Every structure is written in structure tokens, then in C-alpha cells.
Amino acid sequence: MSSAADLAKLAVALDGGTLLSGQSVYQMWRQDKLANGTPNSYGIGWVIKYYNGHKTVGHSGGPALSDVLRFPEEKLTIVVLTNAQKLYPYLAQGVADFFIPPLAITVMKGIDDKDPRTTEILKKFLADAAEDQVNESLFSADAQKAFVPAFKAFGLPFFKSLDTLQSFTLVDHKEDENGIARR
């Protein structure tokens, strides 16, 4: 439980180095690699990712009451507090758009798509999500119970908030004992 004033004091202390040492902040926001070599997106209590090319750290209450988004290099912290349920962690990003210009975005070169049918299914899935729809028949019975309700609650509002899909390119395809991963 915190107030806006408490969270502002936290941001100032983190920016000024008066709360934690630089080494502690580094450890807290370090992006380690998973066993498969991909970067972990979670530090010590903080989600670590990039938004419009800028490193961010933050955490939301999920579909709850708060969203904290920090741009450590820019020393900008955005905090959204509300009494409404189902606050999705995208409002702080929308506020950030007023203060942080996007860095140049690198367009990744596509690879040869040996499974265009799957690509078309994924493309349609994303287009449907932008229209607030999900085709549950694409998922196994277990995924219909475990994944689809969470996707409807979190994924659909996110995809609806995006601009219309402009392009869809396969940039990576990996197969191993755990399955197939496509980006």
C-alpha cells in the first residue's frame, strides 16, 4: 500500500542513489539469461523490457490498481493509481508517449517461411485480437481452460490498444525438445 507521494519519493531516491547503492540497483534490474539463452524479462521484483527502444523497469498490479513504469536512463517514472479494477499495464506506456520519443526502430529481416499456413493462422489470430475476438478452437482443451481466459482479460485489451497490423514477418524459427518457437 502506497500513496502517490510515497511512490514519488521512491522514484527520487532511486534516481538520486540515496535508497540503494548503484550495485544493488544494477542487481535488481539486471536481465539474466534463461537456460535456453534468451534474456529473462524479470529482475528482482521488477519487469525488465524495452518500450519504443528505451529500457524500462516496472511492475503493475495486473488487472488491479496500479502501474509503475520507470525509464532509468531518462530518470522518468510514471505511476498510475486508480480505484478501478482491471487496470491494464498499458496506461503508463500511453503516458510515456507524451514524454519519451521512440528511438529508431530496427526492422528485422525476415527468414524463409517453411510453414506459411501457421504464419497465416498467427496473423489472423493477431488481427482478430485487435477486433476483440479470439478463436478458442485454435487451442487445446487445457489451453482453453488455462490460457484463453487470461488472454481475454489481458491480451485482448492490449491488442485493441495497438495500431492496425501493418506487416507480419517471420524472423526466427527454432525447434527443440520443448517444441517450436517462432518470432
For 22-67, write each residue's pLDDT tens digit: 888 888 888 888 888 888 888 888 888 888 888 999 887 665 567 8
Q: Cell digits for 110?
A: 525476415
pTM: 0.60
Q: Sort 176 into a burial class: Cβ within 10 Å, 0-12 / 13-18 / 19+.
A: exposed
Q: Is the Cβ–Cβ distance between 59 and 68 less than 8 Å?
A: yes
Q: Which residues contact 43 (CB under 8 A, 6 or more apart)?
A: 27, 28, 29, 30, 31, 57
pLDDT score of 87 more than 80: no
